[in-house]
Amino acid sequence: MASAGPRDTITANQLLLHTQGRGIYFAFIILSLPFVAWISVPGLSTILGSIIALLALRLAVGKSPRLPASLGDKELSPKLKRAILGGGVKFCRGLERVVRPRRTVWMKWRAARAVNALLIVIMALLLALPLPSPPFFGSNALPSYAIILLAVSMLEEDGVMIWVGYVATLVAAAYFIIFGALICSHLARWLDALWRLLERTQ
């Protein structure tokens, strides 16, 4: 994909237009790059996470990779453009050192591609959650790692690296499940304490 200057207009659908076919996986990668750091970016993650989820859902059901005009044809802000494009080439060159076509039959199955795309949808929805850091360090990073690994494995049809993507997906899911359990536990204790306090005041 050609680089863009600071004054060039870029929309999400233009990014997809310039990354046709299997390039949708490259779109997943560059949209996830701003979150590889261990610091949450709630506003940005909600926007890009939603875009990734919509695209991956269309991929899962076999539709063309395009967003609704209200979202996909809206010009990206300079800050968002820099976050998406900045450092992307270096990062992808690093991935090329370890990812290569290791073709397995099942990676080409339509059902397998649909399941992998649905995993990206789930990770993108977790990425889109507006969780600040602290205390939710890694709430953006872990889903982004999973999305990048799944996408690059599907792009290169790497039947070995995809398993690393599955592990990253499980780690990200476990992270949110553990935090969810902690939140529910604290909420239950708070409600119990509130109930006891109300009983004493009667």
* pLDDT tens per residue across span 62-99: 887 777 777 667 776 776 666 666 555 566 667 667 77
Q: Which pLDDT score is estimated for 1?
A: 44
Domain ranges within the chain, ordered by starting residue: 12-201
Percent of the chain with pLDDT over 90: 23
Average pLDDT, the chain: 79
Q: Alpha carbon of 131 to those of 33, 126, 141, 170, 184: distances in Å? A: 18, 10, 12, 19, 16
Q: Which pLDDT score is estimated for 162?
A: 94
| Short-list 99, 106, 196, CA closest to 152 | 99
**What average pLDDT does this structure show over 104-115?**
86
Q: How far apart are alpha carbons 156 and 196 in whole angstroms?
A: 59
This prediction's pTM? 0.75
